[in-house]
Structure 1
């Protein structure tokens, strides 16, 4: 059950599967202040599920995502897709949490979803403050078994990194068409810290008991090589499945086509609504 205190949520966008709400979260542990969008599946407010905790899927966007998240609008309509699949018995009704991942739009000032020395603690905001916010406000599956993270491009980097660093919080991740080396200019002079936050390094050293689905676009050979090489570094207990989208390109319109498959994969690897 929610632990409180309740956040003030305002409607940001309507979808055919219900409204997307928004709030500004000031992280108690990180001190970071950023926008967070929330979608609750229709089942959440169904009296039949009044005593159920729901699985949580956190979604990170590609690009800068300093004041927006492409999962919150019609570019990547994952909410409608989820509800369609729920009705077909193919997907869980997920609580979807969609935070920003940078605080400014300057490309040279990205934060790499990390606590870069001397910079805002974006890694702590993502890995600790966001889950704390969700548990404070919503009925969730207890423990990590119902918690997943997914993102495309830059969001893929974030999702892979968060799952490898925090397997106590996230059980599954889907990095869509990602890259795996931190490249923020803020890492200059902090190479040891950069490597400690590199999914490329982490996956080879990981003892994280997590499942991942890593994807690449079949029409982008460099991306295919990069993602396949990263997947090959994983060793038990980390397990990474690989999917190559036929003729796929590194475009939002192509990420959109993969939404049903990724939701079905997440449903197979995360616990669904559970009675308290």
Structure 2
């Protein structure tokens, strides 16, 4: 039985219940003071506790896909990079006053230990800046890490504008997860050195703009305007401070877990801002839960807003934009595998372009996503235009 199979969970739960029943039934018979009765009671307690704990751990793992196989549980991970397969045809696989500080403000370096920043001269490996982005429309000031490729500092590129990948972490992860655990800046620097990726600015963000609430890149009625932040505030702030492309053909969204869901939502809902999206282990629907609260409002309008955040419903009922999407999953270990297959099938007769990266096994964790991030960055970069334009 597989580690995440229902049959294993139900079997262990049944064993736990039987152990409790047997302990209660046999306890009077082990009431003596000798060595054997004492060992019997200790053994009954130990076995009962072990089976109950195993049931709980299996249930938590099944719900969150931390480990997908027995091999992963004992530390045997496949670390080979994933392979991208084209699926469909096409051309490629409230306000805040900016004040004198501008829309991009320097932030401190506290808490950045072990961030996996590329090491070396910025003209050769690039550089990472820790900043805060001011959202004039959404009314928030959010932390971000901005990776500038080595070409950004080289004389021959001083008049060029660079493409941008907006990388979004999962919830409740922060921008540090993208650098420390997913190793986005280091991976991008290595790909650039190997000439597998064109020079690209990468801005790393978290998906929520009102922590601890999970805002899921949604404009909440009478609440936080997360979609506005990603589609208006972030591009405006970055264009005000960096040499980045002004046209949509230079912009992409990328994310893992709920950040991957955000990337797909942004591309399909706002294709004139993000015509390219790469989603590692995404969901294809956004639901209300204990961490999100009510994202869509009430009444018929709320129901319609919720339907519009169901990507299967969008593909079936709304005009489909010409965007390029990459989705990833694994046959064993990821709960979204069947939905990923369903999404790919639904997209085949649509004008969008879809590619997929399907691993044989890999759970919902950074070990899996690190296998995917290199190919995903390479694929995303190739969809973008560089140099988009040249400064006068």
Q: TM-score, normalised by structure 2?
A: 0.64
Does the 8 Å CA contact 1:210/1:239 hold for their aligned counterparts? Answer: yes
- CA offsets, 1:167-189, max 9 Å, x none? 11112110111101112331352
Report which of the two has the higher share of strand: 1
Shift of 1:97: 0.9
Equivalent in the alignment of 2:191? 85
- CA shift at 1:212, angstroms? 0.5
Which digits, 9 at most, give the CA deviation of each residue in 1:94-135, with x for residues without a partner? 1011122214544xx321211111211111001110011111
- Per the alignment, residue 166 of structure 2 pairs with 58
In structure 2, stretches of 5+ residues that fail to align are 1-100, 119-124
Query: Residues 69, 195 of structure 1: CA spacing in aligned structure 2 closer, same or farther, 3 A cutoff?
Result: farther
How far the C-alpha of 1:273 sits from its partner, in A, is 3.2
The residue number in structure 2 matching 1:172 is 276
Structure 2 distance, partners of 1:255, 1:125, is 25
Q: After the TM superposition, which of the residue ranges 233-242 and 149-158 deviates more from structure 2? A: 233-242
2:361 pairs, out of 247, 250, 254, with 247
In structure 2, the partner of 1:191 is 303
Larger Rg: 2
Structure 1 residue runs of 4+, over 4 Å off? none
| 1:92/1:273 contact within 8 Å kept | no
CA distance in 2, matches of 1:252, 1:44: 29
Alpha-carbon distance, 1:231 to partner: 2.0
Q: 1:115 to 1:221 in 2, by over 3 A?
A: closer
- How many residues were matched structurally? 269
Question: Which residue in 2 is equivalent to 1:215?
Answer: 328
CA RMSD, 1 decimal: 2.1
> Aligned partners of 2:376, 2:253: CA distance in 1, in Å?
11
Contact 2:207–2:258 under 8 Å retained in 1: no
Residue in structure 2 matching 1:129, options 228, 233, 251:
233
Q: Which of 83-92 and 174-183 deviates more?
A: 83-92
Q: Is the 8 A contact 1:82 1:92 kept in 2?
A: no
- The alignment status of 1:94 with 2:200, answered yes or no, reads yes
Distance 2:337 2:236 in 1: 36
Relative to structure 1, the CA distance from residue 31 to residue 104 in structure 2 (aligned partners, 3 Å threshold; closer, same or farther) is: closer
Aligned-partner SS, 1:218: strand
> Larger helix proportion, structure 1 or 2?
2
Q: Quote the Cα distance in structure 1 between the aligned partners of 2:334 and 2:277.
A: 23
Structure 1 stretches of 5 or more lacking a match? none
Picking from 243, 258, 276, the partner of 1:154 is: 258
Aligned to 1:9: 106
Instruction: Indicate if the aligned counterparts of 1:149 and 1:174 stay in contact, CA closer than 8 A.
Output: yes
Q: Secondary structure at the match of 1:139?
A: coil
Query: Residue 157 of structure 2 corresponds to which residue in structure 1?
Result: 49
Distance of 1:134 and 1:152 partners within structure 2: 22
User: Does the 8 Å CA contact 1:163/1:171 hold for their aligned counterparts?
Assistant: yes
* TM-score under structure 1 length normalisation: 0.89
